[in-house]
């Protein structure tokens, strides 16, 4: 059974499931180099089919995630193209006249002539751009999406099945890990197919939708606060989360009530206490006299408290204590940490990259779930958990060799082959910053060693070096460690034994981490978003850290993704070399090649 999962909205992606196992997954942005790329992920599909030598006729089903896609967001590639100024322009020219002046501006007229935008040219948008989020237009557009996929893949339309957005999220969250217990599946996000928040039960692998709401604006409140603080909505929420721990209680208290007055938990739903005309201008008006850190701190506290109240209410009503959480809001790792600190829930399980990039995988899971039901076969046996996220592109040694010759790299750099991990570890121990582009690329938000920048986690000075000379990162944002599994408990408090293999959860740290890993934990609250690494996960990366431990006594490295600010993570040697040449990265490893700047 071969299922190709496709997500064609923001941060589009493809996934391949063969006989119940996810064998490939990648975001399109890694190929086109536009962060949060939109549309049919043609390049990722090609790489996927090449990697597994699959031809169209061998695909049993194309599982397409999301029924209702807004053609206006799609053609403008809104989340991918918009700068902060464009988001403000949208507020001023589109939303403000609608909410405050009783007008109905034409969205397409505002944005159709932006020269810098790379508009989607794959789908047919004729006559569906006349009004914003018009259901009829979205239904016409769905048929066109199906027609295009059928033509591009040369696959019968009957083989293309569309799955509801929320179903893709909950199936992904539930089937990702082996731990499949009776529990509650909750989604929370900007907007899905029919909700912003949904609650389903899962009992004996059967899902039942219990409640949903369009008024659950937790995600939108976070999104528009991000814009209010001068950052990109739908992208930089993690920066607001990173800023929050710096706020004092005094500043938080000044802002908290504005948030608290907006939403309330009502049984299984979250909805408005008192509905403002719109969120952005309401917050702007209320925070005229507030400090930026207080706003971030209050927002994060509000989110944590509201999610806790909501989940607790669901848990009490449905009498279940396992919670599977997905959707954009579930990517807030600090809220997840807070929820897991509560004894009221056995566990709040959140899969890696729980936002929309993973719904191509979720669509495969949902398809297989339905297949098992139809055929009366065991879901637990047939639907395999995901044990590795090294699911993407791999450099071929031929391509690497050709690139070195074509770009005459040997004239510029010291190039060596098959440099041993103890020699690389020694360089890191001596203060060098190393880029690593080896093996298959990770799926999702986090670099797990194969597309990473690595350095010694013991020195705070390394933060400054990476922030200013390599990644142009914001000064307040924390880095993360990869920790050998045998040393994990020395540094991290993980009382609920949550999975920490994929950097998808935050944890409190122990005292020793504040010394040994000081550059790789949050400087304000000492939390960490670690990757726990065992030999089976990634042997060569494991060996590198093991060698570093022999020199330093510390079984961990600082690990951040191999990219420059605002660009997608590197995929191939060309991208990796771009980072190397446009930053002060000291060393780059690509497969078995070693590059060092000849200073």
- Interatomic CA distance for residues 99 and 453, integer angstroms: 46
Give the full edge-to-edge strand order of the sheet including 61-65: 21-27, 13-18, 2-7, 61-65, 160-163
Nearer to Fe ion, 444 or 530 (CB): 444
Nearer to Fe ion, 190 or 481 (CB): 190
Binding site for Fe ion (CB under 5 A): 189, 327, 356
Supply the minimum distance, in Å, between the C-beta of residue 187 and Fe ion.
7
Supply the minimum distance, in Å, between the C-beta of residue 40 and Fe ion.
18
Please compute, for residue 502, the number of CA atoms within 13 A of its CA located in the half-sphere on the CB side. Answer: 23
Residue 287 and residue 232 in contact, taking contact as beta carbons nearer than 8 Å = no
For helices 165-176 and 359-375, the axis angle rounded to 10 degrees is: 80
Nearer to Fe ion, 369 or 531 (CB): 369
Nearer to Fe ion, 37 or 516 (CB): 37
Supply the minimum distance, in Å, between the C-beta of residue 292 and Fe ion.
28
Residue 548 and residue 557 in contact, taking contact as beta carbons nearer than 8 Å = yes
Supply the minimum distance, in Å, between the C-beta of residue 106 and Fe ion.
27
End-to-end CA separation in angstroms for the chain: 54
Residue 469 and residue 584 in contact, taking contact as beta carbons nearer than 8 Å = yes
Supply the minimum distance, in Å, between the C-beta of residue 162 and Fe ion.
15
Supply the minimum distance, in Å, between the C-beta of residue 189 and Fe ion.
4
Supply the minimum distance, in Å, between the C-beta of residue 169 and Fe ion.
6
Nearer to Fe ion, 330 or 573 (CB): 330
Nearer to Fe ion, 80 or 517 (CB): 80
For helices 218-228 and 292-318, the axis angle rounded to 10 degrees is: 170
- Interatomic CA distance for residues 39 and 42, integer angstroms: 8
From 153, 131, 185, select the one nearest 326 (Cα to Cα): 185
Distance of alpha carbon 427 from the chain centroid: 31
Distance of alpha carbon 485 from the chain centroid: 24
- Interatomic CA distance for residues 273 and 334, integer angstroms: 25
Residue 5 and residue 16 in contact, taking contact as beta carbons nearer than 8 Å = yes
Supply the minimum distance, in Å, between the C-beta of residue 356 and Fe ion.
4
Nearer to Fe ion, 233 or 530 (CB): 233
Nearer to Fe ion, 189 or 547 (CB): 189
**211 Cβ contact list (under 8 Å, min separation 6):** 198, 199, 267, 268, 269
Please compute, for residue 30, the number of CA atoms within 13 A of its CA located in the half-sphere on the CB side. Answer: 32
Supply the minimum distance, in Å, between the C-beta of residue 359 and Fe ion.
6
Sign of the torsion formed by the C-alpha atoms of 295, 296, 301 and 304: positive
Nearer to Fe ion, 65 or 409 (CB): 65
Q: What are the tokens at 230?
A: 């001068």
């Amino acid at each position: 059974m071969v299922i190709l999962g496709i997500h064609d909205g923001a941060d589009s992606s493809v996934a391949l499931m063969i006989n119940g196992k996810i064998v490939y997954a990648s975001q399109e942005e890694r190929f086109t180099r536009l962060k949060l790329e939109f549309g049919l992920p043609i390049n990722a599909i090609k790489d996927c089919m090449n990697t597994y030598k699959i031809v169209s006729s061998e695909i049993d089903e194309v599982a397409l995630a999301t029924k209702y896609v807004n053609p206006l967001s799609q053609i403008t590639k809104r989340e991918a193209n918009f700068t902060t100024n464009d988001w403000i322009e949208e507020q001023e020219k589109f939303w403000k006249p609608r909410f405050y002046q009783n007008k109905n501006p034409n969205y397409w007229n505002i944005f159709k002539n932006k020269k810098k935008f790379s508009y989607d040219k794959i789908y047919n948008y004729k006559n569906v751009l006349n009004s914003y989020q018009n259901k009829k237009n979205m239904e016409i557009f769905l048929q066109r999406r199906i027609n295009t996929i059928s033509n591009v893949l040369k696959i019968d339309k009957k083989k293309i099945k569309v799955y509801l957005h929320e179903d893709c999220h909950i199936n992904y969250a539930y089937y990702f890990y082996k731990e499949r217990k009776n529990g509650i599946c909750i989604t929370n996000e900007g907007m899905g197919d029919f909700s912003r928040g949904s609650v389903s039960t899962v009992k004996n692998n059967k899902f039942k939708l219990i409640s949903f709401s369009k008024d659950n604006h937790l995600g939108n409140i976070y999104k528009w606060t991000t814009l209010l603080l001068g950052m990109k909505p739908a992208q930089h929420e993690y920066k607001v989360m990173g800023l929050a721990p710096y706020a004092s209680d005094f500043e938080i208290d000044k802002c908290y009530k504005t948030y608290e007055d907006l939403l309330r938990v009502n049984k299984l739903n979250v909805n408005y206490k008192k509905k403002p005309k719109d969120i952005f201008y309401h917050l702007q008006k209320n925070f005229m006299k507030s400090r930026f850190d207080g706003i971030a701190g209050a927002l994060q506290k509000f989110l944590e408290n509201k999610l806790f109240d909501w989940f607790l209410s669901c848990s009490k009503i449905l009498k279940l204590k396992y919670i599977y959480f997905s959707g954009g809001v579930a990517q807030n790792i600090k809220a997840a940490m807070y929820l897991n600190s509560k004894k009221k829930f056995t566990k709040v399980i959140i899969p890696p990259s729980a936002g929309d990039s993973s719904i191509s995988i979720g669509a495969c899971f949902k398809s297989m779930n339905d297949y098992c039901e139809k055929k009366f076969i065991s879901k637990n046996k047939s639907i395999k958990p995901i044990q590795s996220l090294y699911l993407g592109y791999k450099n071929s040694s031929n391509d690497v060799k050709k690139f070195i010759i074509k770009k005459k790299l040997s004239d510029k750099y010291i190039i060596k082959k098959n440099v041993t991990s103890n020699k690389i570890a020694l360089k890191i121990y001596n203060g060098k910053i190393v880029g690593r582009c080896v093996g298959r690329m990770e799926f999702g938000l986090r670099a797990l060693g194969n597309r990473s920048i690595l350095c010694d986690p013991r020195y705070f000075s390394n933060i400054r070096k990476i922030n200013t000379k390599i990644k142009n990162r914001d000064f307040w944002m924390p880095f993360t460690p990869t920790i050998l599994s045998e040393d994990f408990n020395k540094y991290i408090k993980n009382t609920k034994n949550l999975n920490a293999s994929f950097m998808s959860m935050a944890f409190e740290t122990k005292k020793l981490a504040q010394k040994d890993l000081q550059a790789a934990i949050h400087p304000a609250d000492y939390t960490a978003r670690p990757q726990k690494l065992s030999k089976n996960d990634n042997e060569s990366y494991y060996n590198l850290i093991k060698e570093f431990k022999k020199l330093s006594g510390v079984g961990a490295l600082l690990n951040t993704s191999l990219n420059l600010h605002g660009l997608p993570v590197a995929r191939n040697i060309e991208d990796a070399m771009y980072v190397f040449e446009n930053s002060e990265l000291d060393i780059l490893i690509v497969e078995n090649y070693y590059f060092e700047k000849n200073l």
